[in-house]
Copies of this chain bind each other. A is one copy, B any other.
Amino acid sequence: MKIKILLPIISDIFNEEVVIEAQQFVSPDTEITVQNLDKGTASIESVYDEMLGSPDIVAKVIQAEKDGFDGVFVDCFGDPGVEAAREMVSIPVVGGFQPAALLTTMLGGYWSVISVLPSVVPMIRNLARKLGIDGNVASIRHINTPVLELTDKKMLQDKLLEQLIIAHRDDGAEAIVLGCTGMMGLAKNLESAAAKQGIPMQVIDPTGAALGFLEMQVRNKISHSKITYAVPSEKERKV
């Protein structure tokens, strides 16, 4: 199957790493294509950033369906533009939050998110509430680091481990979701580091969960409900 990964920022600096990561999670017959936005922001850390990128995200999801893609992963933990895109297309569309939240809800009954900045905590809380799984969230933590500074993998892992330990000890977390798709390639290392501290913690990478949900939907020939995401009616639209 053909999966489009839409990395919804205006730069391609993460693209290469994303493809390498993504290919580890999919079945051999799945083909990955990465694309960025023409209009949007350098990173997404606010509702404002999500809003600015969404029109181009939706346009590119619509184009992906026309181009014959079987599904689209909007590669950001905040699920920007995903609801609007689902209204406009029939192929499966997922962001980073919903798949990770739902997979983790099965793996461990009570889990924490570790994300980037304080500003995204209310955004993630809203995503959890809308999905109706907020009762499973032990805490939403952050490492107080902007997305564009996640490139120092060593520092990143140290900060994540610090928050993982607090989430386990103080919040009762039984699994961890990495709350930014920019935290790539770290889940297994983080599990090992936690295990060395005596904590057998599963760490869920949102990219893997998102691709898993897309493959599942394509093989099940199932997509989002057109009652929940009804096709918008015809009307004058000036953009």
Contacts and interface: CB of A to CB of B under 8 A. Distances in A.
A73 interface: no
- Size bracket of the A interface: 35 or more
B238 A223 contact: no
Contacts of A46: 84, 87, 230, 232-233
A154 interface: no
Tallying the copies of this chain within the complex gives 6
A222 B202 contact: yes
A232 B45 contact: yes
A74 to B, nearest CB: 13
A155 interface: no
Contacts of A58: 48, 51
A164 to B, nearest CB: 12
Contact of A102 (B81, B105, B109): B105
Contacts of A219: 24-27, 208, 211-212
Nearest to A175: B225
A87 B131 contact: no
A105 to B, nearest CB: 6
8 contacts: A102-B102, A110-B125, A118-B230, A122-B227, A132-B135, A174-B227, A200-B225, A212-B217
